[in-house]
Structure 1
């Protein structure tokens, strides 16, 4: 045996011994994986960098007085506008390609502007409204304007948050009991079966308060943003992964959280921003926590979860890259001179709707179309 072969076999034996000794130490509760340049070199990088084909400036009213809700198709966006002197009354308008003129789709609707959520497929609007007797939740069809009430609550209950699953099948709502937080619940409305199911939050609502909710596409996993009742570091929040079982939600994972954004990649994987601007991915199948990017201030995944738009702290630049595994490839700066407050991908993943503040502190709303 040559010296070279001896070295190879010796290294292999050492690796096997190391792996065997690691197995005897018991399972790890959390594995953090940090992406490296060496790993990226093994990934197919034939995808060309992103290039902006055209920029569409939205009409002034959409920036100054409108509330952009998102995409209703691959070439149109929807916004709400206040009507008259009554603050809870709105009208809905659709702005279509080439994003210069809009037309009204709903003349008047009564709702809470802070809880007006467009489904990712652009077909329905989840709305919350209040009355003397209590709150109610409705689903509004943008195709025919039909309203469907899905839940009603007494004055003792208030709706903390509503959100859609990425596939638009489920509308989740967080109902908080004012007198007893342990009686708070998570509601899940199924758009296919037109039925609701209620899950108790008793097991984990004793110490922290859930303030937002995001359910997975299969309706079995749920992400909560939790706010601590007693914490020396004011404002520190945590993200909590739960699993729906029977009529309860069981804890699976929790970690300190920037409190801004999270998104499901699949029914088992999600990404979230840490309090220090680190973008993490968590896989509940093996408990692996991976670092994707650092210094991120905001991000948005495309509908197919293959693209990511993001900005970094202390920069007024928007980047777009391809999300592959736990790496961001072919990342390119696509727009300079704005700090984005909201970004939304079109349904065909080829356009990016952006709202934000420019260097002159003026609000801007525009659409980037990519090659």
Structure 2
């Protein structure tokens, strides 16, 4: 070995020994956490903004003369129409993707009707008034078969009809203006085909129930009430009632706007307060939380994950992801309209909107999101 090579190895060898001894001092580890597929999807859903893919304008008849009832599937909308040739009959029409041409589903003979489509789009609850009294039926949109739920004398009338979010329970109020019979809340169970009557005697004494929303388990009801001392002013309150032993137990009440409320679980609901704040109430711990401010109206998707809303004094529609008490990725999705009706499709990917623009002209259209 030459002197030159000897000198080179004398420099490199100690350096290699030092490096090798450092590597052998102990194992070096690094922990990498790989999120599950569910976690990845959840992050993507809450972090991505809402983007409008398509806008579908509804035919003129659905805007000018039809009463929108909601979605019968993720790609079809249902509305009712009065006919000039037969004023005592209503036509049900379905508008299917791409929402250009409608088809007649059935014709219904009824006077002074009230029609409420179930959230799953399968049944239509119908109240009709006759000289002999009110009657309540459930119509299957699949086969057109009608089932009579109840019939009342002309001294009692049905004031409001409402479905639970899971379409199992049909709730309605019966009112006797003469006072001879007690006002009552009635629940019809679509699974067992049975009815339950809960008298409202001594319930919220002096206040008048206006509308109801039943929880998915059928054990709680949200009442919109006219308080006795503010009846003339039009102010309203929301009241949470629990059904126990065929009685209503009052659990929570607060001033509210109209009938703007929705269940998010059997123990939680959101509502629009009289101060234009959107609140969430959790009866398990009595927590009342503010979700949004300056809200004019809102609509919650079927899966409870998305919310569409408008702000007071604006003609803009926003859509956001509802996560607990927070609204994430809230984006303006349409400008130039004040919504009067908003319905989410069954797959929560489309939003049916009806309202007025700046020129007070009616508009009806569907937003499809990415």
**TM-score scaled by length of structure 1:** 0.85
Q: Which moved more, 1:223-232 or 1:335-344?
A: 223-232
Pair 1:173–1:288, CA change in 2 (3 A): same
Paired residue for 2:9? none
Paired residue for 2:62? 62
Deviations 1:152-176 (A, max 9, x none): 1111211110110000001101001
Which protein shows a greater Rg? 2
Q: Are the aligned partners of 1:303 and 1:349 in contact in 2 as well (CA < 8 Å)? A: yes
Offset of residue 88 of structure 1 = 4.5
Show structure 1 runs of 4+ deviating over 6 A.
none
Paired residue for 1:83? 83
The alignment of Structure 1 onto Structure 2 pairs a total of residues equal to 328
Matches within 5 A, 1:165-204: 165-180=164-179, 183-204=182-203
CA distance in structure 1 between the aligned counterparts of 2:62 and 2:116, rounded to whole angstroms: 17
CA distance in structure 2 between the aligned counterparts of 1:240 and 1:85, rounded to whole angstroms: 44
CA distance in structure 2 between the aligned counterparts of 1:143 and 1:232, rounded to whole angstroms: 42
Paired residue for 1:314? 313
**TM-score scaled by length of structure 2:** 0.86
Q: Are the aligned partners of 1:90 and 1:111 in contact in 2 as well (CA < 8 Å)? A: no
Secondary structure at the counterpart of residue 259 of structure 1 = strand
CA distance in structure 2 between the aligned counterparts of 1:108 and 1:232, rounded to whole angstroms: 36
The answer to whether the aligner puts 1:136 opposite 2:130 as a matched pair is: no
The answer to whether the aligner puts 1:219 opposite 2:218 as a matched pair is: yes
Pair 1:184–1:86, CA change in 2 (3 A): farther
Secondary structure at the counterpart of residue 63 of structure 1 = helix
Question: Structure 1: any 5+ residue segments left out of the alignment?
Answer: 1-42
Q: Are the aligned partners of 1:182 and 1:201 in contact in 2 as well (CA < 8 Å)? A: no
Q: Are the aligned partners of 2:240 and 2:252 in contact in 1 as well (CA < 8 Å)? A: yes
Pair 1:61–1:232, CA change in 2 (3 A): closer
Paired residue for 2:99? 99
Offset of residue 85 of structure 1 = 5.6
Question: Structure 2: any 5+ residue segments left out of the alignment?
Answer: 1-41
The answer to whether the aligner puts 1:270 opposite 2:269 as a matched pair is: yes
Secondary structure at the counterpart of residue 259 of structure 2 = coil
Secondary structure at the counterpart of residue 61 of structure 1 = helix
Pair 1:334–1:181, CA change in 2 (3 A): farther
CA distance in structure 2 between the aligned counterparts of 1:48 and 1:56, rounded to whole angstroms: 23
CA distance in structure 2 between the aligned counterparts of 1:233 and 1:214, rounded to whole angstroms: 24
CA distance in structure 2 between the aligned counterparts of 1:272 and 1:55, rounded to whole angstroms: 29
Pair 1:148–1:310, CA change in 2 (3 A): same
